[in-house]
Structure formats: C-alpha cells, structure tokens
Amino acid sequence: MLNIVLFGPPGAGKGTQSERLIEKYGLVHLSTGDVFRANIKGETQLGLLAKSYMDAGKLVPDEVTINMLRSEVIKYDSPKGFIFDGFPRTNAQAEALDAFLGELQTSITLMVGLEVEEAELKQRLLKRAEFSGRPDDADPAIIEKRIHVYNEETAPVKSFYEAQNKFVAIDGIGSIDEITQRLFAAVDKNI
C-alpha cells in the first residue's frame, strides 16, 4: 500500500493537493476535518461534540479523533492506499496511527509537509472564508488560535516521521500546479 500523510498548517493547501494525489495514485482520501464537518451537517453526536472544539479553533480530543479515523479506515476493502489529510495532528495520534496500520500489516510510506509562512496562511484562510462557509475561517482570532495550536501541538509530529526517515518538506508557495509537481516528484522518489 501507498500511505501518505499530507502535513502542513491550516491553509497550506492540503485539501487542494489531496485531490491531485488521489487522482494520480488511486488513493482513498481521508480528511478528518471533512469527516467532522459531514458529522456536523448530519447533526450526529460526534458532530455536536466536534463542533464545539472546531469553532473555537481547538483540536478535537485525541481519543475521539483516533476512534473516528479507525472506523473510516476499516470501511475500505483492500484499498491501494490512503492519503491522510489533517491527521495525525498530535504525537499521540501519530503513535496510534502507526500501531493501527501495523495491525493491518501496512505502514506510512511518506509524510509530505507543505511549508507556507504565517502571513500567507492568514490571507489564504480569510480568502477561503468568502466561499467556504466555515466559521473557523471567518474570524481572525480563531485563525490565530488554529495557527498557535498547529505550532504547539501539530508541528512536533514532523519529528516523529523524521525519526523514521519518512519526512519530506515541500515548498507550498507557487501555483497549484507547481506545488502538485513538487509533490508528485517527492512521492515518485519514495515508492
């Protein structure tokens, strides 16, 4: 299997680039943010819980997120691989993912990290708010909080994969196509 973690701060372009990667490599796209938003829309219990954290720019608790991710992964019968978008976001999630994939006799192939500086991220998120309808994009204070949470809790996950020689940094500035080409090159080199 080809299992890719697409990593990067909020607004780095993970969703956009995921679309390109799943198309080229035939992967299943698992975005924890998308699953939470679908649950919010469907007014499920999980959605109700997730919403309180998401609207505040905080992470949904690890246990809830990990269980949700597991139940998504096992929905697929012999997939070619997964692209994990927005997961893992903490070291505890990364450890749980390794253990879980181990049970399925597979592992993470590569983490690709999109690197974009803070000022650009803030601009992109405010721009996205104009059409995304996401309350967490519309408020500069919440954006600030998400970037802070990213720096504190999520950025360290990079070291987790660096220690396994699985991390590749990708310059996330440029046209969407240019960035896609950088990602393809990084993936092709590692499969």
Under rule CB under 6 A, residue 81 binds ligand ADP: no
User: Is 20 labeled as catalytic in the residue annotation?
Assistant: no
Under rule CB under 6 A, residue 113 binds ligand ADP: no
CA dist., res. 35 & res. 110, Å (int): 22
3-state SS string over 11-28?
CCCHHHHHHHHHHHHCCE
Q: Which is nearer to ligand ADP, 57 or 81 (CB)?
A: 57
> Shortest distance, CB of residue 78 to ligand ADP, whole angstroms?
25
Strand order in the sheet with 167-171: 28-31, 82-85, 4-7, 110-115, 167-171
Q: Per the residue annotation, which of 58, 122, 128, 158 is the catalytic one?
A: 128
User: Is 89 labeled as catalytic in the residue annotation?
Assistant: yes
Task: Yes or no: say if 131 and 141 are a contact pair by the CB < 8 Å rule.
Answer: no
How many beta carbons lie within 10 A of that of residue 138, not counting itself?
15
SS3 31: strand
Q: Which is nearer to ligand ADP, 82 or 105 (CB)?
A: 82
Under rule CB under 6 A, residue 54 binds ligand ADP: yes
Among 18, 39, 65, 180, binds ligand ADP (CB under 6 A): 65
> Shortest distance, CB of residue 68 to ligand ADP, whole angstroms?
9
Bridge partners of residue 169, in order along the sequence: 113
Under rule CB under 6 A, residue 157 binds ligand ADP: no
Q: Which is nearer to ligand ADP, 36 or 82 (CB)?
A: 36
Q: Which is nearer to ligand ADP, 2 or 125 (CB)?
A: 125
Q: How many residues does the chain have?
A: 191
Who's near 69: CB < 8 A, 6+ residues apart? 30, 32, 84, 87, 93, 97, 100
Give the amino acid at 43. Answer: E
Q: What are the residues binding ligand ADP (CB under 6 A)?
A: 10-11, 32-33, 36, 53-54, 57-60, 65, 86-87, 89, 93, 136, 146
Catalytic residues: 14, 89, 128, 134, 146
